[in-house]
Amino acid sequence: MKNKKKMSVPLLCSIFLFFAALSLWVFGVYMIGFSGHSYMIEWRFFSLCSVDWTFPVVIDYISIIFSCFVCLISGSVSLFSVSYMESEVFIRRFMLLIMAFVGSMNLLIFVPSLITILLGWDGLGIVSFALVIYYQNKKSLAAGMLTVLANRIGDALLILGICFLVNWGEWRIGYGMTDSFSLLICFLVVVGAMTKSAQIPFSAWLPAAMAAPTPVSALVHSSTLVTAGVYLVIRFYWILVESQEVLWFLSKMGALTLLMAGLSACFEVDLKKIIALSTLSQLGLMMFTVGIGFPLISVFHLLTHALFKALLFLCAGSIIHSTGDTQDGRILGNLNFLLPFSSSCLVLSSVALCGMPFLSGFYSKDLILESAFGGFSGSLEILVMLTGAGLSLVYSLRILLVGVFGQNYGNGLVSYGVESSYMVVSIFILSIGAIMGGWLLQSVWVGVSGFSLVGVLGKVIIGVVTVLGLFYWFVSYFLKKVFGEKFLGGWVWFSSSMWFMHLSSGSFLAGIGLKLGKMMHLHLDLGWMEILGGQGVFSVLGSGIKLSYFAQSGNLFVHTRIFLILLVFVLISSICLF
């Protein structure tokens, strides 16, 4: 192990995060779970114009369990970084960014006020930009700019919502907002959350953020950045429920994102991007679940998804690290003999993603499907949701074919490495969570224990939806063999391009937005604003000072001219007045 002294930093951070996760789990189970009480602590700094400036902290089962999962996954990522980032010179800087990222997420989790939630919200945006551009090349810079610009839209929308909240003399979203601004405030909060969770039409930045190191991707796409928008909607759900139009809009956008990301993942060749698109698909499922009125089930799926998605990213990172930084699916394959532990855990996480019974994904996914059947959702929404759930098996099989069971077209065995003990331990910890996490959560969480009562037809449809996914994969493979690229080339191109989301959101933000910013800089900052702004005011003040110096020069002729000018001015003023 190189740089043992430097690599002790991520090891110490992982130990601290594991201890914090254990403490939060014990506190949440014994103090919050058994008693059934929630607590809110609020510090008031001062009061100005009948508005209290406070810092509230909410302690309930959602915030405690979510923070526990964030610390557990962050600890595993830090332990994984001991080996993955061993050649990194500035490992202390990297771990400082990781800890700042975790701290911002915990601040977002425990603070329910909209004005103070911006501290964690903006912290996530700034630190994510620094992590995405960590490798300091053109690709990373382009991805970082796209990420930070998309997140800044959400920041601006939340700030606008806070401005409208001044009408109530309150900085926090509260109950009973019946004014004409209530619908607008709820809409601003939901669209701001959609930007952070990469819902349509803000989906382009999430696959682009794969330019970050793999430990960062595991942390960002499992329990921190992309889940911040979902958590914000869940936290303020009981306010949003008073505006049913907003929830209707959220369910439609979530269903479209679920379908779009699932189809795109079926035609992607990059291993990390397939996993990123699967994350986007699951985020659409969570938003859809909130929109149809089941926020507790959505946060349950959010927690179980965080476990097996972090495991999926760490296994992919182990494969990429052991194969000489190779992540192209057209080269990888046949790794079940070369990297048996990472490959087996990759299979485990992919199966959990499909919703295999008695794994973590099964408990939450089955609840979502049963709730959608038992709720008041439309038939088209249920069809789209079932299609997206079936596509999860298709892209999970694609991950396995790309990374484990496919044909290897890479280099010789001399280019392969082996998993280090730190990688094995971190992956093993998350594997236990992917196997038992759903069962443990359902056993201690009363709100999500038990299943909805649906008919026999609903149960049968839920049971065969993954089989339909297999059928789709078989049919698409057969059609591709029979008809070839001549007839299916357009469909493959349309699906693999994420329905051209990179043009509607990515190019608009990173292309047109930056070009407009440059034009405004040239014509406003260096043009009109220079003449009418700072430089113009400076020039006028300079001329006035010169005139003042000239008037105070002490010359008799100067005083005579000033006296005559003032006399003429007084005479003209008196004539005009009288």
Encode 144-203 in three state secondary structure.
HHHHHHHHHHHHHHHHHHHHHHHHHCCCCCCCCCCCCHHHHHHHHHHHHHHHHCCCCCCC
**C-alpha–C-alpha distance, residues 115 and 293, integer Å:** 26
Residue 518 lies in a domain: no
Residues 255-269 as b/e (b if ≥16 CB within 10 A, e otherwise) read bbbbbbbbbbbbbbe
Q: What are phi and psi of 279, to 5 degrees?
A: -60, -45
pLDDT recorded at residue 414 = 46
Question: For residue 457, is pLDDT > 60?
Answer: no
269 plus 120 within the same structural domain: no
- E-strand stretches of 211-279: none
| Whether residues 446 and 350 fall in one domain | yes
Per-range mean pLDDT, top range of 192-201, 367-376, 466-475: 192-201
303 lies in some domain: yes
End residue of a domain, out of 441, 470, 496: 496
Q: Work out the angle at residue 275's Cα, subtended by the Cα atoms of residues 270 and 280, and round it to the nearest 5 degrees.
A: 120
Residues 80, 90, single domain; the answer is yes
Q: Which of 203, 225, 242 is the last residue of a domain?
A: 242
Same domain, 150 and 3: yes
> Where do we find the tokens 């930056």?
514
Considering the domain architecture, whether residues 424 and 554 belong to the same structural domain is answered as: no
Q: How many domains does the chain have?
A: 3
Q: Verify that 55 and 85 share a domain, yes or no.
A: yes
Q: Is the residue at 12 inside a domain?
A: yes
- Within-domain flag for 84: yes
**For 43, phi and psi rounded to 5 degrees?**
-105, 125
Same domain, 211 and 343: no
Are 320 and 372 found together in one domain? yes
230 and 285 in contact (C-beta within 8 Å)?
no
Q: How confident is the model at residue 499 (pLDDT cuts 50, 70, 90)?
A: low
Interval 67-112: pLDDT, tens: 888 888 888 888 888 887 777 777 888 888 888 888 888 888 888 7
SS3 helix, strand, coil % of the chain, rounded to 5? 75, 5, 20
pLDDT digits (tens, 9 = 90+) for 164-216: 777 666 666 654 455 667 788 888 888 888 888 888 888 888 888 777 788 88
Rounded CA gap, 184 and 200, in Å?
19
Q: Which domain holds residue 430?
A: 244-496
Looking at the domain assignment, is residue 3 inside a domain?
A: yes
Q: Please say which residue of 473, 496, 519 terminates a domain.
A: 496
